[in-house]
Chain A
Amino acid sequence: MWTRMLQGGIAFPPGTSLPGVRNKVSEACNRTSSIPMLAHKRNRSYIYMKCKNRVLNSKCAGEEKRVGTRTVFVGHRPVSETDAYIEQKFCDNRIVSSKYTVWNFLPKNLFEQFRRIANFYFLIIFLVQVIVDTPTSPITSGLPLFFVIIVTAIKQGYEDWLRHRADKEVNKSSVFIVENAKQVKKHSEKIKVGDVVEVKADETFPCDLIFLASSNDDGICYVTTASLDGESNFKTHYAVRDTIGLRTDDDIDSLTATIECEQPQSDLYKFVGRINIYRSNQEPVARSLGPESLLLKGSTLKNTKKIYGVAVYTGMETKMALNYQGKSQKRSAVEKSINAFLMVYLCILVSKATVCTTLKYVWQSNPFNDEPWYNQKTKKERDAFKILRMFTDFLSFMVLFNFIIPVSMYVTVEMQKFLGSFFIAWDKEMYDEEIQEGALVNTSDLNEELGQVEYVFTDKTGTLTENSMKFIECCIDGHKYSSRMSEVDGFSHTDGPMTYYGKALKCREELFLRALCLCHTVQIKEGDNVDGLIVNQECSTYISSSPDEIALVKGAKKYGFTFLGHENDFMKVQNQKNEIEKYRLLHVLNFDPVRRRMSVIVKTSAGKFLLFCKGADSSIFPRVQQDEIQQTKVHVERNAMDGYRTLCVAFKELTQEDYKKIDGQLSEAKMALQDREEKMARIFDDIETDMHLIGATAVEDRLQEHAAETIEALQTAGMKVWVLTGDKMETAKSTCYASRLFQTNTELLELTAKTMGDSNRKEDRLHELLLEYHKKLLQDFSKNSGKLKRSWTVSQEYGLIVDGSTLSLILNPSQDSSSSNYKSIFLQICLKCAAVLCCRMAPLQKAQIVKMVKNTKGNPITLSVGDGANDVSMILEAHVGIGIKGKEGRQAARNSDYAVPRFKHLRKLLLGHGHLYYVRIAHLVQYFFYKNLCFILPQFLYQFFCGFSQQPLYDAAYLTMYNICFTSLPILAYSLLEQHINIETLTSDPRLYILYPLICLCYCPTNLWRMDTFLK
């Protein structure tokens, strides 16, 4: 469970980028990526690098491995007279997200459009018609092509115009730059690296700034990065300590400093730099700069009057711009089958032309057929080479029959997808009252994939469960305190004992509660009245990137200890006696998914140094006194069995000397320019040892409404549901039972650390287990397959549980053993199990699992659903990615193809909309090919009656209009509105989902008949 905490803020799966960075620019981009009509460029990056300086261009592009650092002169002031001031060249601060300019629009757009095979094909046909004497006039194929090209160009041009407008808005917005102690108003695009910029409250930062000073005395400013990563909590940024005092333009102007920092990189949460401040007659002072003093372009200044910052990354080198990469485009399986169809039709076309050409020359071998007296050739025709004539004839036949290739199909299909996706966004049933939002469609390309899903990979927390944590109970020194029975404070001595089973010492209780109140990163978001720190007011709430922390702080409050917020460096806690205790917050040892714990070091008012640490049991137990573990361990395990999320809390008292040492080490590590993270992690590890365990907490995460019914429906619909979670096995298992993923009669096969046994024989044990399970399943499977191929009730269902460490053992086995086929055996086991639970998964492992299933035989369509940043990798990996608009930020929703408010909406999305769109698009595509075959077959047969002379059977106007309007518009309406089965019926009877895909692509009405009778 710990992996989830703070993930939004800090833990970011390595290797995943943050695509949907949102500001004006990327919003325009997002808009376009949600309208993917005709946009079939492979490379969909909308941000094009444009740097004035050609030499630096390659650096700007962010492709080359950057070497070294960049040096920025604050305010362009040279450091000293001796050092010559060398002007370094950087990008200007212009954002270019548009693709075209007025001048290159035509050639560039045409080039891109003609890269599509169908368009190129028609261009060739058109040219043939112009050059060679062909039966139909060039207009017949030129006009449809022209129509398609124009429609696409208008659409793309319009989108690009929007992007231009958004760019202009950003680039021309005015900013204030401090030059020679005066504020100069400039356009945002004019900012150069090294400029000192002033930003006022509620303005967005125009580029990446190093935070020099703020209007607050303590050099703190609050920032919200909602437009960057979707977290709307205020983040605190700290100014460089030595420049805090520079609060006026004159002061800023007096600053002489250089900043050395790494070359731009895209990770939003990483920054390493150093500022050297030169004062007259003194040695320069060097200070380390971390992400806490970097203000990112795109984030907004809050609750701070103004700040000064020096631009370090500008324009296309800002982290926001580097982060906006187009999503790798997912292609629908239907499109692949369309291409296959097209190839078949091309073959038909060529063979028809060949047959006709051959027969023509056979027929013409009779001279009276070739040239009867009434129909003489011109001299030119007689003189032409026979081979050339034959080739021309072949081309003519191609032109004559080319209407078999449906030119307008792509346009119609994309129109259908684009317009059809509105019905998903409009769906009232997928609207959630609580978050006031409905479904969101980011990619309309995949509507029909929703109707063919075979594997569903779901995250647990926030997806199956509510992710609204409720503090349930805690245990202190092995004594259980439960707040479940009553809402009254059953804790304080004055109220008398209510619901605790045995009692710990009072001082331990208080220590535990103080630990809960202090060891977190929760902030208080005030309502409209800023000065009053009244926590319980309606609009004054705790905010944090992790709901667990809020639950804990609220839990502590219930027992009388209320966290009142930060004041400068102090954390204020109101204790049971309504006294306010102040603790000086010295260090926060942030959470990261590797350590799976976080710590704070505080100084009490009595001058004691305390370290509080909380984290997953597995990461805390080895670091505390061994004799304390036992009692607590029992509680933790029992809580986990009940499906609660557990955390252990430990503390340690530090002596003055210890603290000084630690402080020194930490500052040193923070100053480090290289490998800062590793150094920090090492020091954290050293600090968090020999602690004393105080207790553990249990937090409940309720199942989402209708989650169980939805899972059941998905399983009935023939989908295999896999739960991939970072949670503990016991917790996840109980959730699986609660959500009816595992039935009571499901036989569980476990591949976990528990069943693996001790570390030496792991591989052998794994081998044994795998073989055993495989055998078991095979026997069972062969027994069953004899009876019915697709029976909905299998006599014995199997569920598989696998954990992260075992999975990595399976996927990355050591070299020596004969274990190379572990993966395939494991996969076979997985595929035969009705439900699979993967717990303790790292984000990348989730993606690995999805990839593994995706690439199995038959290439099943996979769907991933998740709500947090840790699900992004699997959402991007699966064929269809669904984001839940959850409480852990919007990253999942932004990276997904579809986002819905709740898990239960999956039912209608898949069984209703997905099913309908699958059937609709199948009909649409098949109709297109059918009608063109029908259209051109008489043309072909007529050649037998007109002496193979390429005489067209149809009038030119009819040929032209047939494809672009007569036959494409009616089917478009049909494919948007058709409901072969009522939506209510579809969602209420999930079995239809399996039945239909079987017959869809070889669709014929008799099956419909069969299904209707089945329905009755």
Chain B
Amino acid sequence: MAAASPCAEPAGRNKPDNTAFTQQRLPAWQPLLSAGTALPLFFCVGLACLALGLGLHFSSGTIRELELDYTGAPGSGHSCSRCANASRAAGAGAGACTCSLRFELPERFPGPVCLYYQLSNYYQNHRRYSVSRDNRQLSGDAAGLRSPATECSPFRTDPRGLPIAPCGAIANSRFNDTFALYHLANGTFHRVPLDNRGISWWTDSNIKFSNPALLNGTLEATFKGTAKPPNWPQAAYLLDSNPNNTGFINEDFIVWMRIAALPTFRKLYRRVREGNFSSGLPQGTYCLNITYNYPVLSFQGTKKVIFSTVSWMGGKNPFLGIVYLVFGSACILTGFVMLAVHIKFQQQNQMDVE
């Protein structure tokens, strides 16, 4: 339509609000990168990374670590080869075989010293393996004890149909080598006390894992009507003589049940922090007695024992420090290059502007 003269109407009927939000005028800040701001930034970040990298590198360097391979691969002439052969012949669940390993500690390991075992080429992270457990059963649920989850199969029930406790492939393949450490002092071997308390996660041992309620005051009665995992020599309630460390709350068992993310992994076995060795392991000759039960040759795996000290950053980890050092130096290098470019072309730029 075309109206020759518009009639008066109330003003501002549909007028938009004049606010910072609706008019897109909210306060904002945008870093404008110029040589003046970018170059100092590069140098600062570079220096900070270098400092952090150096710190990490040196504290990682102070950590003492000793690795002992005791796989006993055939032909290696290792003292455990015999046991390895025996375990291979017998397969999983072979009878006990012991071997010992004599080694020198080249320097004093300040305490607390941790004793790890390391397996390689062992796929704890395999999906079929990692789901093969029943968390309900492990948390002490009575129903879970009697009827394990289907994920546990083929280690859910034994051939007689009795439910396996603890069920599943993870529990069944529990690491069952044991170690005893002796220190040669004054010509005699002294047993080094190994502390097995507090090696598992607090949440695991206190919340996720607990034994089922006792029947008649004994764990044995509680576990009655269940079968032991096929590879275990004895039932779960016989894992340890200490009632607070047996059954599902056995710390070695809990450590094993927390599966590793990568096929080569370490698990904490014991700590040295008691008796004469509370301040660490002195330099000298040691002997490690190994009860060799666990077969690894069948899947071309290796077994190692590791002695390691700890620092504020945990175990030995040279990688992190190196990454920081590399990144820091790259930053500084880039900074210098850009500084050179800046100085070289500054003149020209000004001329362009003029």
Q: Interface on A for B, CB 8 Å cutoff?
A: 8, 135, 230-233, 368-369, 372-379, 381, 422-423, 425-428, 431, 433-434, 436-438, 467, 525, 527, 538-539, 541-547, 550, 554, 887-889, 945-947, 949-951, 977, 979-980, 983, 1009, 1012
Contact = CB atoms under 8 A, between A and B. Distances in A.
A375 B126 contact: yes
Contacts of A950: 127
Contacts of B298: 368, 372-373
Contacts of B32: 1012
A436 B15 contact: yes
Interface in B1-35: 1-9, 11-18, 22-24, 26, 28, 30, 32-33
A887 B2 contact: yes
B128 A374 contact: no
Given A423-B24, A946-B126, A376 B154 contact: yes
Contacts of A544: 1-2
Contacts of B7: 527, 538-539, 541
Nearest to B18: A428
B8 to A, nearest CB: 7
The interface centre, meaning the residue of B3, B33, B129, B154 with most chain A CB atoms within 10 A of its CB, is: B3
A543 B7 CA distance: 12
Given A377-B128, A438-B14, A949-B123, A554 B1 contact: no
Given A374-B173, A543-B3, A951-B130, A369 B299 contact: yes
Contacts of B26: 977
B154 A946 contact: no
Nearest to B12: A436
Contacts of A375: 123, 126, 128-129, 132, 169, 173
B262 interface: yes
Contact of A979 (B9, B12, B24, B153): B24
A945 to B, nearest CB: 6
Contacts of A467: 2
Given A375-B123, A375-B128, A436 B11 contact: yes
A230 B1 CA distance: 8
B92 interface: yes
A542 B3 CA distance: 6
Contacts of B263: 945-947
A916 to B, nearest CB: 8
A133 to B, nearest CB: 10
A921 to B, nearest CB: 16
A231 B4 CA distance: 14
A324 B248 CA distance: 73
7 contacts: A426-B23, A428-B23, A431-B16, A527-B7, A547-B2, A888-B2, A980-B30
A184 B172 CA distance: 88
Nearest to A467: B2
B328 interface: no
Nearest to B22: A426
B91 interface: yes
Given A372-B299, A374-B92, A428 B3 contact: no
B15 A545 contact: no
Across chains A and B, which 10 residue pairs bring their CB atoms closest together, nearest first? A374-B173, A426-B22, A949-B127, A368-B299, A547-B2, A372-B299, A946-B125, A375-B129, A951-B127, A949-B126
B1 A983 contact: no
A372 B132 CA distance: 14
A223 to B, nearest CB: 14
A532 B91 CA distance: 115
A424 to B, nearest CB: 10
A377 B2 contact: no
B129 to A, nearest CB: 4
Contacts of A554: 4
B300 interface: yes
Contacts of B16: 425-428, 431, 438
A545 B300 contact: no
A659 to B, nearest CB: 32
Contacts of A428: 15-16, 18, 22-23
Given A436-B12, A538-B8, A945-B262, 10 more contacts: A233-B1, A368-B299, A372-B123, A372-B298, A377-B154, A381-B128, A887-B1, A888-B1, A949-B125, A983-B24
Nearest to B155: A376
Nearest to B30: A980
Nearest to B2: A547
Given A8-B1, A372-B299, A374-B169, A951 B125 contact: yes
Interface residues of B, number: 49
A8 B3 CA distance: 14
Given A541-B7, A542-B4, A436 B13 contact: yes
B295 interface: yes
Contacts of A422: 22
Contact of B126 (A425, A427, A542, A947): A947
A375 B298 CA distance: 12
Contacts of A135: 127
Given A372-B123, A539-B7, A946-B125, A427 B23 contact: yes
A422 B16 CA distance: 11
Nearest to B169: A375
B299 A979 contact: no
Contacts of B172: 374
Nearest to B126: A949
A541 B5 contact: yes
B5 A1012 contact: no
A230 B14 CA distance: 18
Contacts of B122: 374
A433 B8 CA distance: 12
Contacts of B127: 135, 946, 949-951
B28 to A, nearest CB: 6
Contacts of A437: 14
A438 B16 CA distance: 7
Interface string B39-56: 000000000000000000
A376 B22 CA distance: 64
Contact of B125 (A231, A888, A945): A945
A554 B262 CA distance: 91
Interface in B132-162: 132, 153-155
A261 B137 CA distance: 83
The interface centre, meaning the residue of A372, A436, A550 with most chain B CB atoms within 10 A of its CB, is: A372
B14 A550 contact: no
Contacts of B300: 368
Nearest to A549: B2
B2 A543 contact: yes
Contacts of A8: 1
The interface centre, meaning the residue of B26, B91, B154 with most chain A CB atoms within 10 A of its CB, is: B154
Contacts of A379: 154
A802 B24 CA distance: 42
A426 B24 CA distance: 9
B153 A378 contact: yes
A734 to B, nearest CB: 23
Contact of A438 (B3, B5, B15, B173): B15
Given A373-B299, A436-B14, A538 B5 contact: yes
A550 B15 contact: no
Interface string B166-195: 000100110000000000000000000000
B21 to A, nearest CB: 9
Given A373-B299, A378-B153, A888-B2, A979 B18 contact: no
Nearest to A435: B6
A541 B3 CA distance: 7
B222 to A, nearest CB: 27
Contacts of B22: 422-423, 426-428
B12 to A, nearest CB: 7
A126 B107 CA distance: 59
A63 to B, nearest CB: 34
Given A374-B169, A436-B11, A950-B127, A541 B4 contact: yes
The interface centre, meaning the residue of B1, B11, B14, B154 with most chain A CB atoms within 10 A of its CB, is: B1
A979 B262 CA distance: 45
